[in-house]
Chains A and B, each alone.
Chain A
């Protein structure tokens, strides 16, 4: 190689090559350096475009809206199911309901529906139920398998009757996961109608053949089996059909969505 270096032509080429190479490396290097803000609004604006692509491709792959998440045998149920997020809400209203064994708890169904409803736990238990043993995938990377039983969200929505403007279902929860001055730390979620009407989307009051425990969202939590755990709101108090989630809390469609996570949590 040393002989190459004394040839003017190859030196010229090499220098150009080296500079170009350094240029490419320089483009990648600042990613690790603090000089470049990897979370700047400009960067996020571009990065967030990937979510729409992922959503469009996954929706296309799922084809018929009823592609089902895998269901497992009872033997596959995890001995330990990790509780995450809120595990023991301290909100006064919730604590009072919990003390009463959720006898006074009512699920409110409202918003853009023809027939608003209030349902007690026994009302829900009296409705046709679906039981499923599915895998829960946390955005953090871990998975656990559990059995869930509850009412299909589709049947509640059909009974309530969606108004034509309804595009999303919002779930408002009892737990405050982050203390804030403006109450934006209260957990909530929104899902689209495709997921809301999916057969495996249920409002679960039972887990592993027992009443849902507080750490897993008692008295009622959502299961949306083709998305990540944070979409599956726990401690549900109120369901609303809405046309837009921009005016709810910080406007991005959910507690974690407001904190930078994807609204479409299919991956």
Chain B
């Protein structure tokens, strides 16, 4: 398995070497994961909509959730305004959260139709999609982690002390959209390491939190309830980590575009990445 650090120059060119950056296994895992994540996210929002509130405890506090999506109604009971409440502070989010446009005008629903799978309200179908793709995600994750640990690729993601000291410098470089060239482009910079490492850690925790919502799994492993501070807290962790991964995805896609979308896409599809030589 060729790794990032042992990348070999494929051919010399004035514009830069073409190196082999990602193994086939990593590339397949990446795209399977990408599809699973989109399906799990959208079906997850469908499931969330069935009870669009979060409590940090074993049980649901219907009166005081720390996060909720709800609706205000007119005298006839028609939804007129969507309200997102965070730690007791209501924010009007009509059109997107709480109340959004459906087939028959405004309707009461947590996340809007375009964000959920299926687009219409159907908890049963959302669950079917969620659990099917959850299994694929888990199997794909096992393959990825086996490769990460057995082939010690985890070293490529683990920041060194020198890396950590370079954080301010790397932030400044990123802000100026100055990306590594030459040999520096052969390895991940510290911000990349931290971002990818956080995702590699977030996924297993997110899956564990999801499993903690299962009454059967709780009977088999009651310690999960203590780990997450209760079933509803596990539901909150599951939701918040998913939100973190959405944030990661946005930054990831922006960086892919800013640092050379074609070169980046090629490296994740064919494995080949062109390293720009350092300007002298």
Contact = CB atoms under 8 A, between A and B. Distances in A.
Interface string A139-181: 1111111000000000000000000000000000000000000
A53 interface: yes
B59 A143 contact: yes
A143 B217 contact: no
A92 B218 CA distance: 40
Contact of B128 (A17, A50, A70, A141): A50
B109 interface: no
B235 A141 contact: yes
Interface of B: 13, 15, 31, 34-35, 38-39, 42, 47-48, 50-51, 53, 58-60, 62-63, 114-115, 117-119, 122-125, 127-129, 131-132, 134-135, 211, 213-222, 225, 231-232, 235, 260-263, 265-266, 268-270, 272, 274
B150 to A, nearest CB: 24
Sorting the interface of chain A by its residue count into under 10, 10 to 19, 20 to 34 or 35 or more gives 35 or more
Nearest to B36: A28
A267 interface: yes
Contacts of B48: 141
A181 B136 CA distance: 40
Contacts of B34: 24, 28
Contact of A70 (B31, B218, B263): B218
Contacts of B124: 256, 259-261
5 contacts: A7-B15, A48-B128, A67-B219, A80-B62, A137-B213
Contacts of B274: 4, 10
Contacts of A139: 50, 123, 127
Given A50-B132, A141-B51, A226-B215, A62 B220 contact: yes
B58 A21 contact: no
A140 B123 contact: yes
B117 A142 contact: no
Interface string A184-195: 000000000000
Nearest to A228: B215
Contact of A13 (B134, B225, B266): B266
B213 A1 contact: no
B31 to A, nearest CB: 5
Given A3-B15, A32-B114, A135-B58, A140 B51 contact: yes
Interface of A: 1, 3-5, 7, 10, 13-14, 16-18, 20-21, 24, 27-28, 31-32, 34, 38-39, 44, 46-51, 53-54, 58, 61-63, 67-70, 72, 76, 78, 80, 82, 135, 137-145, 225-228, 256, 259-262, 266-267
Given A24-B31, A69-B218, A145-B58, 8 more contacts: A1-B260, A16-B269, A32-B114, A38-B119, A50-B134, A82-B62, A135-B231, A141-B47
A70 B222 CA distance: 7
A28 B129 CA distance: 13
A14 B262 contact: yes
Contact of A38 (B117, B127, B235, B260): B117
A267 B62 contact: no
The DSSP consensus for interface residues of chain B is helix
Given A7-B15, A67-B219, A47 B129 contact: yes
A4 B35 contact: no
B117 A18 contact: no
B240 to A, nearest CB: 15
A68 B219 contact: yes
Contact of B266 (A17, A50, A58, A78): A17
Nearest to B53: A142
Nearest to A138: B51
A227 B217 CA distance: 10
A256 B119 CA distance: 21
B219 A28 contact: no
Contact of A32 (B42, B221, B225): B42
B265 A225 contact: no
Contacts of B123: 139-140
B39 A31 contact: yes
Contacts of B31: 24
Contacts of B217: 58, 61, 266-267
B117 A39 contact: no
A199 to B, nearest CB: 11
B59 A69 contact: no
Contacts of A28: 34-35, 38-39
Contacts of A7: 13, 15
A78 B132 CA distance: 33
Contacts of A228: 215
Contacts of A62: 216, 219-220
Given A58-B214, A135-B215, A140-B51, A21 B265 contact: yes
Contact of A50 (B13, B42, B135, B263): B135
A17 B127 contact: no
A24 B270 contact: no
B271 to A, nearest CB: 10
A62 B214 CA distance: 12
